Structures are given as C-alpha cells and as structure tokens.
C-alpha cells in the first residue's frame, strides 16, 4: 500500500474565519487509516470547526481537504454524498432527530442510502443498539433519553453505516466520569475491532490519552502541539503542557 | 438586516428550488403522508370551531337585514356563496398560516439550531428534500381539504343559527343553500387554496431553513412565517379572484 493510500484525511494549509476572527490559520495535518487523533484546545479555538470542515458541513476559506483520494473541497452533489457515506459524525449534542424514535433515527440512513431489506435493516439496528447498550430503548423518543443515552444513541447512528472515518465532537461533555468512560470504551472498540479512523474533539485529557494514538493541541487557529501524550507533556509550549497534564 | 428585495430574491429562488425538487426522485411519500396527518388532522378542530362560529355569526348579522326586506329565504344561499367563494378559502388559509406556518418555521429553525439539519447532511441525505419539500407538498394537499371542511362547518353553523330562530329543517336549508350554486362557485375558489398552501409552506420553510440564530431564531422564524405568509395569502387572493373571474365569468356574483 502506497503512502497516499494509507492517509485517510489530509488538511493542507486550511484556513477558516468568521467575520474578522481567524479560527483556523493554514492548518496542515495528515491522519493515517485506522489512526485515532484527539484534538484538544481551549473553547472557541476552532476544534469543532475543524471537524465540520472534514465532512464538508463548512467550507474552508483557503487550503485543501482530502478524504482518502477525494478532494473534499472540489466535490458537490452525488460525489460529496459518496464520500460522506464513508464517514460518521457524532455531534456534541448528539443531534438526534427529535420527531423520530431512536429506531427510526437509525433506520433513516439505512432506508435512504442502502438497498437492504426490511429484515436486514432491523438486524443492523438491533446489533448496533446492543453494541451501545440501548436495545431495550429503541422505541423511545430522544426526549425520553438521558444525556449519556443520547450520546450513545448518536454514536449508534454514526456507526450504523459502518463508516471508515468517525468524527466525534466532545463525546464526554456533560457526562459523569463513568458514563464518559463507557463512551470511550465504545470508541476504542471501533478503533481496535474495525480499525476505524477517528478524529475526536475533547476536553477530557484522560479519555483522549485512552482513545488517541496522537493528540493535537489547537491554539489561536494554529497547531500548537501534535504527537503522543508523552511528547506533548514535555512540550516547550505552556498551553500544550497544561492541556495535556492530567487534571 | 436583509432588505426587502434580498428577501424577495432569496424567497423566489427558494420557491423555485422547492418546485424543481418536488419533481425529482427520490420522493418522500412517507414524509408527505406524515406531514399531511400532522397538519391536516391537528388543524381540524381549529378549522371546525372557526367555521361553526363564523357560520353562526354570519347568519346572525345577515338575518335581521334580509328579514327586513322579506328575503329570509336567501339566508342559506348567501351563507353558502360567501363561504364557498371567499370566507372558507381565505379564513382556512389564514388559520393554517397561523397554526401550521408557525409550526413549520419553528420546527425547522429548531432543527437548524440543534444541529439536526447538519446531522442529516452528514448522513449524506439531502435535508432540503427531506424537510422542506414534503412540508410544502403537504400544505398544498391539505389546504383545499381543510377549506372544504370549513365551508361545510360554516353551513352547519348557519343552519344551527337559522334553526334556533325559525326552526327551518335541515333538508330545506340545504336545498336553499345549494339553489343557484354552480360548480365554478366552489371548485376554483377551493383549488386556489393549493396556491395559498404553497405560499404558506414555502415561506415558513424558508424562514425555518435559513435562520440560524439559536433559540431567538426559532421565535423569529415562527413570527416571520406567520406575518409574511398571511400577507402573501391576502395579496395572492386578490390576484387569484381576478383570475377566476377571468376564466370563469359565471362565478362572478
């Protein structure tokens, strides 16, 4: 396998600003297939923006983004859909469709994007929901689920199409330590069993060290540190050391 | 703040996108059916109550004048004509603009604010086709049905009021109500509400889909939807009435 085939995500001098605020300034990054990179940084430093750029929910002002061999910034319509189909996104708020049951939240992409039979769809939903421990709750509406359950449900929906790339926005925000650890376990399972490439935005350094092969620290729109936890703990940059140090 | 011309331009382009997407596969039949149920069934009590009340009030107002001129027998016909031609279509559309329009604007804006629309796009599903097109189609389908329901509730209200005053039988009331009524008094005014439905659905979806300002945006989308769609319904009514008179001269009262 050539080096270019091994790279799952490439950001090449990507910039993004909102009004006069530069959120990302010429950020470059390569993520290998099967690798998990956790993005750390203070609030408002462009971590979630970076994730949304990677799935084309936002467009960069400058630079290029590649998913595998596809130039994301050039894609439109059906081509963009094809690339997105290989990706899953867990939103910070889980973003479950609140007028659908949990079952229908998972069934929607399967019905729309695959040619699977009704029985196959039911089997996939049952399997994914049992992975995240929500099989008994599949007829519940999102409003009936707790914060941790919603996060797991959001993860189940992100995994239902078996994505090669999983983007996760703050999986542990608003959750207690034990529930956050359960979510981390599910992410680790994806990484070790399915070799899913993962980009995880998090404030939880403990979880980031467990899940991430590499940690990336964003500060004022630039990469302040990138490497394994041990490397970053001895960084010259004080913000990087503070963010990577265990609380 | 967008100026009026920018909004007109954006809204026209949005409406064109709705029409183009309505004729493009995949068709969201299940979603359309769900929205028809949501909008139609849940609007029925409001439409029925309004139709009955307006029917009673209309008869109370016209009765004294018509009795003075010895034309009490005209009350049912006046009632049916006014409901079929104008009151039913316009009031049903304004009620739907208030109830359904505000609902569509708020629901879609809330989905935008809570990243549900981003989630749909991230799943590589076209959020416009899934959220906007079925709602507009449902509005187009539901409004003529609600208008017909309102017309008959208005007639029923008129009958109840007349029965209380003169003990007129239902059979005689209905015979008088439909005497001299031609299909062009009923069909074109009822079908024009499909245009009202398109306007309500499109305007409400436009504000819901394009406003992205969190909780405040949800309120603004609902308010803007009701105000602009009501205004457009009234303006469109003027044009459509003129058009109906042009195409069906016999329907002019």
Residues of B with CB under 8 A from a CB of A: 26, 107, 111, 114-116, 118-125
Q: Which residue range forms the structural domain that includes residue B220?
A: 4-251
Encoded tokens for A242: 């503070």
Residue B73: in which H helix or E strand, if any?
Answer: none
Is residue A44 over pLDDT 90? no
Beta-bridged to residue A9, according to DSSP, are A31, A67
Burial label, B30 (beta-carbon count in 10 A; 0-12, 13-18, 19+) = exposed
Q: What is the pTM of this model?
A: 0.87
Cβ contact, residue pair B115, A93, below 8 Å = yes
Q: Are B11 and B206 in contact (CB under 8 A)?
A: yes
Task: Note the pLDDT of residue B147.
Answer: 97
Any bridge partners for residue A21, and if so which?
A18
Q: Is the pLDDT of residue B69 over 90?
A: no
CA dist B58 and A223 (Å) reads 72
Nearest chain B alpha carbon to A54 = B122
Tell me the ipTM for this assembly. 0.88
CB contacts < 8 Å between A and B, how many?
52
The domains of chain A, with CATH numbers, are 3-244 (3.40.50.300)
**pLDDT more than 70, % of chain B:** 98
The average pLDDT across B223-229 equals: 95
CB atoms within 10 A of CB B64: 9
Give the pLDDT mean for A172-179: 81
**Contact between residue A22 and residue A15 where contact means Cβ atoms under 8 Å apart:** yes
How do A214-219 and A36-41 pair as beta strands?
Answer: parallel
Tell me whether residues A98 and B114 touch, CB distance under 8 A.
Answer: yes
* Cβ contact, residue pair A161, B123, below 8 Å: yes
Integer Cα distance of B218 and A166 in angstroms: 30
pLDDT bucket at B25, cuts 50 / 70 / 90: confident
A168 has which bridge partners?
A90, A200
Report the domain count for chain B. 1
Spell out the residues 6+ positions from residue A75 whose beta carbon is closer than 8 angstroms to its own.
A56, A83
Cross-chain Cβ contact A84/B122 below 8 Å: yes
Per-residue confidence at B26, pLDDT binned at 50, 70, 90? confident
Q: Which of B121, B122, B124 sits opposite A113 (nearest CB)?
A: B124
Q: What percent of chain A has pLDDT over 70?
A: 97
Give the minimum alpha-carbon distance from B148 to chain A in angstroms, rounded to a whole number: 29
Read off the pLDDT of residues B84-121 as tens digits, 9 standing for 90 and up.
Answer: 999 999 999 999 999 999 999 999 999 999 999 999 99
The DSSP code for B70 is: T
Q: Quote the pLDDT of residue A23.
A: 92
Which are the contacts of B25, defined by CB distance < 8 A and separation ≥ 6? Answer: none
DSSP collapsed to 3 states, chain A: CCHHHHEEEEEEEEEEEECCEEEEEEEEEEEECCCEEEEEECCCCCHHHHHHHHCCCCCCCEEEEEECCEEHHHCCHHHHHHHHHCEEEECCCCCCCCCCCHHHHHHHHHHHHCCCCHHHHHHHHHHHHHHCCCHHHCCCCHHHCCHHHHHHHHHHHHHCCCCCEEEEECCCCCCCHHHHHHHHHHHHHHHHHHCCEEEEECCCHHHHHHHCCEEEEEECCEEEEEECHHHHHCCCCHHHHHHHCCC
Instruction: Say what the pLDDT of residue B47 is.
Output: 96
- Residue A3 is predicted with a pLDDT of 52
């Amino acid at each position: 396998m050539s080096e270019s085939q091994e790279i799952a995500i490439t950001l090449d001098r990507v910039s993004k600003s909102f009004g006069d605020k530069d959120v990302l300034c010429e950020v470059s990054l390569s993520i290998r297939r099967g690798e998990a990179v956790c993005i750390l940084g203070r609030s408002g430093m462009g971590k979630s923006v970076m994730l949304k750029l990677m799935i084309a929910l936002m467009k960069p002002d400058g630079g290029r983004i590649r998913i595998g061999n596809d130039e994301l910034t050039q894609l439109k319509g059906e081509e963009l859909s094809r690339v997105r189909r290989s990706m899953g996104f867990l939103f910070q708020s889980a973003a479950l469709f609140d007028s659908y049951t949990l079952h229908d939240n998972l069934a929607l992409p399967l019905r729309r994007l695959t040619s699977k039979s009704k029985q196959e769809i039911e089997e996939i939903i049952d399997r994914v929901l049992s992975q995240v421990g929500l099989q008994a709750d599949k007829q519940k509406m999102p409003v009936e689920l707790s914060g941790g359950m919603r996060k797991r449900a959001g993860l189940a929906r992100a995994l239902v199409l078996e994505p090669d790339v999983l983007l996760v926005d703050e999986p542990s925000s608003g959750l207690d330590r034990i529930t956050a650890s359960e979510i981390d376990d599910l992410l680790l399972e994806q990484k070790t069993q399915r070799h899913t490439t993962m980009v995880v935005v998090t404030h939880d350094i403990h979880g980031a060290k467990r899940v991430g092969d590499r940690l990336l620290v964003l500060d004022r729109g630039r990469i302040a540190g990138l490497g394994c936890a041990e490397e970053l703990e001895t960084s010259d940059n004080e913000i990087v050391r503070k963010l990577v140090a265990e609380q | 703040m967008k100026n009026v011309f920018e909004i007109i331009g954006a809204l026209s382009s949005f409406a064109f996108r709705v029409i183009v997407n309505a004729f493009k596969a995949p068709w969201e039949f299940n979603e359309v059916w769900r929205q028809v149920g949501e909008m139609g069934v849940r609007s029925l009590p409001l439409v029925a109550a309004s139709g009955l009340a307006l029917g009673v009030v209309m008869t109370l107002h016209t009765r004294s004048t018509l009795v003075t001129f010895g034309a009490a027998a005209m009350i049912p016909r006046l009632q049916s004509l006014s409901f079929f031609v104008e009151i039913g279509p316009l009031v049903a559309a304004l009620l739907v603009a208030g109830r359904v329009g505000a609902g569509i604007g708020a629901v879609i804006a809330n989905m935008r604010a809570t990243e549900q629309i981003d989630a749909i796009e991230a799943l590589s599903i076209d959020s416009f086709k899934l959220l906007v097109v079925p709602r507009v189609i449902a509005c187009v389908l539901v409004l003529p049905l609600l208008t017909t329901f309102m017309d008959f509730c208005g007639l029923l209200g008129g009958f109840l009021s007349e029965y209380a005053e003169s003990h007129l039988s239902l059979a005689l009331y209905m015979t008088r109500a439909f005497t001299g009524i031609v299909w062009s008094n009923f069909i074109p005014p009822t079908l024009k509400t499909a245009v009202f439905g398109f306007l309500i659905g499109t305007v409400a979806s436009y504000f819901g889909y394009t406003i992205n300002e969190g909780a405040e945006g949800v309120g603004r989308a609902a308010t803007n939807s009701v105000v602009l769609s009501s205004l457009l319904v009234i303006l469109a009514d003027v044009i459509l009435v003129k058009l109906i008179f042009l195409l069906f001269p016999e329907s002019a009262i």
